[in-house]
Amino acid sequence: MDLDFLPEHADFRKEVRDWIEANYPAETRRKQDAGETLGKEDILAWHRTLYKKGWLSPSWPTQYGGTGWDSVRKYIFSEELARAQTCQTSFGLGMIGPVLYTFGTPEQKEKFLTGTMTGDIWWCQGYSEPGAGSDLAGLSTRAVRDGDHYIVSGQKTWTTQGHFADWGFFLVRTNAEGKKQEGISFLLIDMKSPGIEVRPIITIEGGHEVNDVFLDNVRVPVANLIGEENKGWTVAKYLLGHERTGIAGVARSKRGIERLRELAAGELADDAQPLINDSDFRRKVAELEVDLAALEYTELRSLASESSGKGPGPEASLLKVKGTEVGQRLTELTLEAAAHYGAPYARGMGGNIGPIGPDFAGKAAPTYFNMRKTSIFGGSNEIQRNIIAKAVLGL
């Protein structure tokens, strides 16, 4: 098997690299370098730059804005984004986009897809509830039909970037009888509707990413139903497959390991010996690299099968579990590399006691704490293992 890139792929890599360098928004870069939290406008600046270039959503069908690249080009592109440490694009793009072009009516595609691409519609995901996370089908937010509207009441939780969102894609209960999965519908809800309240949840490192969302008799046009009433579970599962593939973050972890090696070799050189000379530390980094290489080939296989028209299958669960485990171990080793310089993480909690030690060390602890979320969200890793056991291993 020849695993080298073709010359045309090397040219493509250069084109992407040069373009990112010339076009990544300067203010967003400045904030990232200074360790400042990015706001909605910072993220949208990059989102819109990619949209104008036509590179916002490479995997989508070309008629909906996809690039038509082969799987190698898509992979190179994601690697270059990671290498340049670009920020994410608007939340939900990779989840609701495929749902809209697969299940949406022509009117829904017209109304929502364009706005999602241009960045005029920022989404949030209203799936989880205080009593329904892993057991998502047990959700109880109810939607009762009233003429051309549904009246929606209930509570969603852990809603990522709900405070930025213009619209949300929600799972609601439209039938309380029979099998739980068969009474769920998928609704698009305008977050400015009367009766919606978004309250922040502050995470362990002091950040505001997630929220509680309360819905009190919110009127939602029936025209905002995706697919058929009570058939939302099929749409919900399709969306989760796309969410899980996106979480693996192979290219970002690859860049993270390179950076970790640089840090352990150099930046902490006021120590008598660079950390990378420590055989135990080197072994841990090498083990991580081996796992990441295996994950990379699994992801390439999954990309190749997506390019041949198949959506992500249960192997998305494999990518999610391994990708998040690698990502978390990387933050553990980075914190180990930062050693005592990693301690003043209070900076991330608004304490701002000023930098101590090298710059990277200040971010090591907040990043370590923040990354604990990745084995929980998008369906916890335990649940993914159950899916792998059933759907991949046939147990």
Query: Least Å distance between CB 134 and ligand FAD?
Result: 3
162, 157, 158, 183: which is closest to 172 by C-alpha? Answer: 183
Residue selected from 76, 225, 319, 383 as contacting ligand FAD according to rule CB under 6 A? 383
Q: What does the angle CA 293 – CA 47 – CA 299 come to, to the nearest 5 degrees? A: 20
Q: Which of 46, 127, 164, 238 binds ligand FAD (CB under 6 A)?
A: 127
Kindly state the smallest distance separating residue 221's Cβ from ligand FAD, in Å.
Answer: 22
Using the Cα atoms of residue 366, residue 129, residue 96 and residue 297 in order, give the sign of their dihedral.
Answer: positive
Rounded to a whole number of angstroms, the minimum distance from the CB of residue 350 to ligand FAD is 19
> Would you say 153 or 386 has its CB closer to ligand FAD?
386
Binder among 118, 193, 230, 386 for ligand FAD (CB under 6 A): 386
E strand segments, 162-266:
167-173, 184-190, 196-202, 208-221, 225-226
Q: How far is the CB of 160 from ligand FAD (least distance, A)?
A: 3
Please identify, among the stretches 172-180, 220-228, 250-258, 373-381, the one whose residues bind ligand FAD according to the rule CB under 6 A.
373-381
Which residue has tokens 């997506």?
A: 306
Q: Does 128 bind ligand FAD (CB under 6 A)?
A: yes
Joined together, the tokens standing for residue 153 give 């009441």
The yes or no reply on residue 140 touching ligand FAD (CB under 6 A) is no
Binder of ligand FAD out of 28, 125, 224, 245 (CB under 6 A): 125
Residue whose C-alpha is closest to residue 98's, from 241, 301, 308: 241
Q: First and final CA of the chain: distance in angstroms?
A: 32
**All residues at 6 or more sequence positions from 98 whose CB lies less than 8 Å from its CB, including other chains:** 60, 238, 239, 242, 311
**Interaction between residue 366 and ligand FAD (CB under 6 A):** no
380 binds ligand FAD (CB under 6 A): yes
Query: Quick count: other Cβ atoms within 10 Å of Cβ 7?
Result: 8
Residue 200, helix vs strand vs coil: strand
Q: Where are the alpha helices (DSSP H) in 142-249?
A: 232-247
Cα 318 to chain centroid distance, Å, stands at: 16
Query: In angstroms, what is the minimal distance from the CB of 44 to ligand FAD?
Result: 18
Quote the tokens at residue 209: 């990413």
187 touching ligand FAD, by CB under 6 A: no
Nearer to ligand FAD, 198 or 285 (CB): 198
In the block, which residue shows the tokens 């796992």? 291
Contact string 205-234 vs ligand FAD (x = CB under 6 A): -----x------------------------
Q: Using the minimum distance from each CB to ligand FAD, give the nearer residue, 137 or 265.
A: 137
> Measured from the CB atom, is 18 or 382 closer to ligand FAD?
382
Number of residues that bind ligand FAD (CB under 6 A): 18
Cβ-contact 189, 168 below 8 angstroms: yes
Q: How far is the CB of 6 from ligand FAD (least distance, A)?
A: 39
Q: Which is nearer to ligand FAD, 117 or 321 (CB)?
A: 321
Compute the half-sphere exposure of residue 76: CA atoms within 13 Å on the CB side of its CA: 20
Residue nearest to ligand FAD (CB): 133
Distances in Å between the Cα of 348 and the Cα atoms of 203, 315, 375 are 11, 35, 21
Query: 347 vs 373, which CB is nearer to ligand FAD?
Result: 373
For helices 71-83 and 250-262, the axis angle rounded to 10 degrees is 40
Interacting span for ligand FAD (CB under 6 A) from 65-73, 158-166, 178-186, 302-310: 158-166
- Phi, psi of 301, deg, nearest 5: -65, -40
Only one of the segments 65-73, 138-146, 270-278, 380-388 lies at the binding site for ligand FAD (rule: CB under 6 A); that segment is 380-388
Enumerate binding residues for ligand FAD (CB under 6 A).
125-128, 133-134, 158-160, 210, 373, 376-377, 379-380, 382-383, 386
